[in-house]
Structure 1
């Protein structure tokens, strides 16, 4: 089904060479790890539902719940999910709060009140502004959509625990302040999303 199509985040030597020159520690990690692939979901609605499911739970739990949703609903589309009850969505293993959020967003998109495709033409800050106006969507969820659907190039999410953990590992820090995080984030620009891909991988090593 079209809505379940995935691909890898598109990047190459230009991005990794830039990051290697910009940050010695990250460059050493890139050289050691080789190319790290990151799955993206080009369909915006599917990616948004996936990001909501992923809020505040482990990657393993996300995979389990996502598989259940695919098996139960088949198609993760606005019309299809708008027709489901919140109980049915919740029974895949998510909280009722998330289930209601997914159901409401599906109805909002299916009715044409919120046009997800318009996000493709907007700058990152505007995408975040529009998405966070939806009930249950915070900045982290919006930033995940920027990376995992829109493939925007320069996103490093302070709200992502794994990214912060990856930074701490990379630089040998026992903790990390917002100021330290911002310094590193600026050094990765304009390819912060590729840095994020490596930081995620580092956090689970």
Structure 2
């Protein structure tokens, strides 16, 4: 997988990507999804600050988000759409939507998660990667991934699906290194 000199250099610099078969952090599914909703259309840094502010006001649990007034979520800096999405996520989590996701195939996880208001393919793909540690997710609609692939490899957005095939079954790893390249010299 790391025969390409650019990827080998990133592996040496950043270590193993946090996806299977490497160890990956086990985190509560609700928190991972809430962070992904917050991160939609934001830079990584802005999303982290917003999530930190939000979780100081409301603990990242379905129960807390169900009880929290919409105005409190808005005070944290969320748009109305994101606040409503988090409320819907909390309600569906309480109904069992997040139960057993780790046992489902990727497509079934995406189908289930996209039932939540404001959760689309990108958010579901981020959950597959960072919530379940899946090694072969290739989020070709992600702007950072597109920028990095163009900068490092000259790959146009429409060519990303084919480009990723050479890295199957470790496309999550490739995506992670491409994202790291955006903050590397």
The TM-score normalised by the length of structure 2 is 0.88
Corresponding residue of 2:93: 109
Q: 1:60 aligns with which of 25, 31, 45?
A: 45
Aligned to 1:13: none
Q: Alpha-carbon deviations, 1:104-132, whole Å to 9, x = none?
A: 2212222x2x4302211100111111111
The equivalent residue for 2:72 is 88
Counterpart CA distance in 2 for 1:196 and 1:40 is: 17
- Whether the aligned pair in 1 keeps the contact of 2:110 and 2:121 (CA below 8 Å) is yes
How many Å apart are 1:204 and its aligned residue? Answer: 2.5
Distance across 2 between alignment mates of 1:27 and 1:67: 33
Give structure 1 stretches of 5+ with no counterpart.
1-18
| Number of residue-to-residue matches in the alignment | 179
Aligned partner (choices 24, 27, 30) of residue 11 of structure 2: 30
1:176 matched to 2:160: no
Select the residue among 24, 35, 44 that pairs with 1:50.
Answer: 35
CA change 1:169–1:144 in 2 (3 A) is same
Q: Equivalent residues in 2 for 1:123-134 (5 A)?
A: 123-134=105-116
RMSD: 1.9
Deviating above 2 A after TM superposition, structure 1's stretches of 4 or more consecutive aligned residues are 23-31, 36-41
Task: Please tell me whether residue 71 in structure 1 is matched to residue 49 in structure 2.
Answer: no
SS of 2:152's equivalent in the other structure is: helix
- Unpaired segments of 5 or more residues in structure 2? 19-23
Name the SS of the counterpart of 1:151 in structure 2. coil
How far 1:158 sits from its partner (Å)?
1.0
Assess if the C-alpha contact under 8 Å between 1:154 and 1:190 holds in 2: yes
In the alignment, what sits opposite 1:10? Answer: none
Return closer, same or farther for 1:37/1:188 CA change in 2, 3 Å cut-off. closer
CA distance in 1, matches of 2:35, 2:14: 27
